[in-house]
Structure 1
């Protein structure tokens, strides 16, 4: 998924096309989010990571999804507002998407095909995270249980050595 990453298209929370050229030469964390998920406290941890490393080129993209027990009942704009107001998120929030199944968004299809999880390539729950290098290469995939602070060293290495 090296150069294909920059060819992916998706919209921001307001339905406007997101300019993926803004991601070139950046290290990106992509995460599927849900406001009613027990892992939602990771929004604060992701924001902390974003604030700490954004000046070095880190970008985090949150993609609301309701694929798991309808834990994101909000539409894209309301999810963005909820994340900002309740969790202090300032990183970009995208349009609500499907991250598995027959309607899987092409970005998540490419991500899951590039980095499989334990036993399967499908995303099993909210807050699955993907780390993408400055060259658009999927470096790693982290399960929902792995908190952002637990893979901070990977982020630092990717920022400084790619």
Structure 2
């Protein structure tokens, strides 16, 4: 009996210790500072304790009307430790051709966007922005590998800065998978 307990204890210790190491080794979104549409520094560490939705956006996409739903979601939950952070990107069919100034004007004028919008970046390929390297690589986020499929793909980040879920581009911002997560 003792011969069985010692190897079992060692196996349990190695398993638990290994899991703790993996959790501790996970990076968080808080390590990033980016630039917003107006040239100001945006520090993700200022969002500690909040649930975050990161979404890549585009002004000339069939999914662009999602801006309206994103703004409604932000208005509904911004006082409940929730924030949306938008990243305009021109990676899909040239659907975000404008400058940061043009994007800011478009978002404000057409959809009344007040959630934080960052400067235009690349969300895939050789010039992928480091935030999206974190979001799409399990080695960095500790959760899963993914690829940005299209504009308006959503990444849900918990209050500790860890990736929780990747949401497909066509999933609307008011979908229960998103709203239930925010409320949980």
TM-score if structure 1 supplies the norm length? 0.89
Q: CA-to-partner distance for each residue in 1:8-61, whole Å, 9 max, x for gaps?
A: 121111222212232111111100000001111111101111000101111111
In structure 2, stretches of 5+ residues that fail to align are 1-24
Aligned to 2:52: 28
For the 8 Å contact 1:116–1:122, the answer to whether it is kept is no
For the 8 Å contact 1:34–1:72, the answer to whether it is kept is yes
How far apart are 1:3 and its partner, in Å? 4.9
Distance 1:29 1:148 in 2: 10
Distance 2:26 2:111 in 1: 32
Partner of 1:37, secondary structure, is coil
User: Are residue 104 (structure 1) and residue 131 (structure 2) matched?
Assistant: no
Partner of 1:80, secondary structure, is helix
User: Are residue 52 (structure 1) and residue 76 (structure 2) matched?
Assistant: yes
Partner of 2:61, secondary structure, is coil
Corresponding residue pairs, total? 154
Runs ≥4 residues deviating over 4 A: none
In structure 1, stretches of 5+ residues that fail to align are 158-162
User: Larger Cα Rg: Structure 1 or Structure 2?
Assistant: 2
How far apart are 1:125 and its partner, in Å? 0.5
User: Are residue 94 (structure 1) and residue 118 (structure 2) matched?
Assistant: yes
Q: What root-mean-square deviation, in Å, do the aligned CA atoms of Structure 1 and Structure 2 show?
A: 1.5
Aligned residue runs from structure 1 range 12-161, under 5 A: 12-113=36-137, 114=141, 116=144, 121-150=146-175, 151-157=178-184
Partner of 1:56, secondary structure, is coil
Q: CA-to-partner distance for each residue in 1:79-103, whole Å, 9 max, x for gaps?
A: 1211111011110110100000000
Aligned to 2:11: none
User: Are residue 4 (structure 1) and residue 28 (structure 2) matched?
Assistant: yes
How far apart are 1:116 and its partner, in Å? 4.6
Aligned to 1:160: none
